[in-house]
Structures are given as C-alpha cells and as structure tokens.
Amino acid sequence: MAGMQCALTLSRQGIASTIIEKQSDMGGKLRNWHVLFPTFTPADDVLSTLRHKLSSAENITIKTGCEATKISPQSVTLASGEELKCDAVVIATGFTLFDARIKEEYGYGIYDNVVTSADLEQMFNKGEVRLTSGETPRRIAILHCVGSRDEKVCQRHCSKVCCVTGVKQAIELKKLFPAADVFNFYMDIRMFGPGYEEMYREAQMNYNIHFVRGRISEVSPTINNRLQIKAEDTLTGRPLKLGVDMLVLLIGMRSNDMNATLEAESGLKCQPSGFMQPKDSFAGNVESNVEGIFYAGAVTAPKNVGESINEGTAAAMAAAEWLTKR
C-alpha cells in the first residue's frame, strides 16, 4: 500500500518510478484482510481504489514476482541479476506476521480450532467461519499480544493494531453468531486511534463481548473436541479455566529478515526491534541515514493502513525534494 501510494504521488509530480513487488500481485497483507477498523470498510475497496489509480497513472512501471537483493541510492539489484538504475529509492517492504507455532503452549498447528487473526480474516472473506467439524462456534476466546510484548520470543515491541483488531474481529463474530460468547484476553487495551475507543465501548455495550485482563498460560484439548484454556484474571488475582470451541491468536508484526541484510550491505540502520531506523522520529521519519534512500509504511514500525498510505505520500514528497536539490 505504502509503495503504491508513493508511486502515485511521484507520478503526480511528473517523476517516473518503478514498483518492485516480491509477490505476484500488489497490496501486501491488505489483500487478505476482510474489513478495516474502525469503520468496517471492506479492505478490497481500499485496495481496488489504489489499483484503479495505478492503472491510469503515467510514468509508473510495475515489476511483480521480483525481489531486490541489493539497494543503493543509484541502483537496485534484483535476485535475477538485473540492475535497475535510479536517482532515489523508497523502501516500503512492510512487515512479517509472527509465526504462532513458536508459542507452542497455545497449540497452533497442534490442536484443531486454534487459529490466528490472519486465518480468521480469510475465513471472513470466504464466509466460512466454522469449526473443523463443520459446526458453528458457540464460545470463542481471542488472545491478544501473541508475538508482541514478549521477551521470551525477542519481540519486546507493541504491534499497535492487535488490540483494535481483536475488538473488530469480536464484533464481526458476534454479528455472525449473535448467541455466541466471545472473550478477549488482554494485557492492556490500547485503543489509540480516532473511533477506536468508541468501537471498544460498542463491543461491550451493544454486543456484550467479554474482556478479561490476563494472559492464557496453557491450552489443551478435551475429550469432547473442545479446548480448555487456563489463565489468570489479573484484575481479581484469581485463576481461570474456560472451555471454548475456538481460540483466535492475535499475532503481531515482526520485522522482515531482509532488514538485517539491508543494514549489512546498504549501510542502513536497524532498531533493536529489527525494524529500520528512520533518520529522525519526528521531522525525518521517512528518511534513512543514507541520503537518497527513504522509508514508507511498516518497514520502520508497526502501523495501520491509513498511516502506511500517508507515509507513502510523505516519502514521495521527501524523495521529490531530494531530487530537486541534486
């Protein structure tokens, strides 16, 4: 998204650009999302708008199924060996979803009906939110911060969008299954954006979604093919056991493995979290420490869709200004 918006903004400035996309299609993780918080706007509406604008824009070349292996302000080398000459580079490579299998205690990939938030989005898209038995879930638990704020897996940062995603998905589940009980297990509820707090209140008042402050410590299967979760309600200090039909793991954002390569070979800097380090967190948050290389979107930190698109515009303007000064 950030890269697409960046190319569109450069096109309006009369500057030619080439989009290098690793996948067979553009759009990143947004291609797999159902609706977006807090407005429940279909993700495909946002992506379709960007694609339509790109199709009619001038001076934009799109290369899909390509991967950059080396980057400098003057050139980008692809895995195929092709070298693309340029005057500036905007890195908008996004993030990687945390692999929930690393947290074995939650049973992902081991027990039936343990799914990730990304899996659930695809179920929403297909209109097939069902248990492996084909039945509809009657009691669902959603666990926050899987792969975020967790020193045991070296992911100390907050992924920023998990809390609001958990609330959004809980509302979607209640709309599908009004009689179901939906529980959100959280460390802290961080509803930082416009309309987010209102959605959180709506989840409680209009949909009767339950919020439990505490972490799930263990998940195990039961003889009737359900899941038993053990947790502690940290507000009351009491242990808790709960039988559920489905467990949703809200997986966080982690930095791309490619970032370490960029640091080693291109002279760029990474943060302790593995995300790229911008030149300045305030006035230069889309600039890198290497002149002529810029950042857009979640390559520097977890961000939501709107922030990523806005950074695409900001990076394009910064790159255009850089080009005029050369």
Domain boundaries, the chain: 2-95+255-325, 100-253
Instruction: Report whether 268 contacts 89 (CB < 8 A).
Output: no
DSSP 140-196: EEEEEEETSSBGGGTB-S--SSHHHHHHHHHHHHHHH-TT-EEEEEES-----STTH
Report pLDDT for 27: 93
The span from the CA of 190 to the CA of 61, in Å, is 40
The span from the CA of 204 to the CA of 152, in Å, is 32
The answer for residues whose C-beta is within 8 angstroms of residue 320's C-beta and 6 or more apart is: 10, 13, 15
The span from the CA of 137 to the CA of 228, in Å, is 14
Report pLDDT for 325: 85
The span from the CA of 166 to the CA of 48, in Å, is 25
Q: What is the DSSP code (8-state) at residue 100? A: G
- How many residues appear in the chain? 326
Report pLDDT for 235: 87
Report pLDDT for 233: 87
Q: Give me the CATH topology for the region 2-95+255-325.
A: FAD/NAD(P)-binding domain (3.50.50)
The span from the CA of 157 to the CA of 253, in Å, is 9
The span from the CA of 262 to the CA of 71, in Å, is 7
The span from the CA of 115 to the CA of 142, in Å, is 10
Report pLDDT for 129: 97
CATH architecture of structural domain 100-253: 3-Layer(bba) Sandwich (3.50)
* Nearest by Cα to 312 from 279, 277, 285, 281: 285
Two tokens at 138?
A: 């009657």
- Which residues are bridge partners to 247 per DSSP? 114, 141
Q: What is the pLDDT of residues 123-163, one digit of tens each?
A: 999 999 999 999 999 999 999 999 999 999 999 999 999 99
The span from the CA of 321 to the CA of 273, in Å, is 30
Helices then strands, counting H and E runs in the chain, come out as: 7, 19
Two tokens at 248?
A: 């949703």
Two tokens at 315?
A: 């990076």
Q: Which residues of the chain have pLDDT under 50?
A: none
Q: What is the largest CA-CA distance in the chain?
A: 70
pTM over 0.85: yes
Report pLDDT for 309: 97
Two tokens at 34?
A: 């159902």
The answer for residues whose C-beta is within 8 angstroms of residue 235's C-beta and 6 or more apart is: 213, 214
Pairing of strands 139-146, 181-186: parallel
Residue position matching structure tokens 């879930």: 137
Same fold, 2-95+255-325 and 100-253: yes
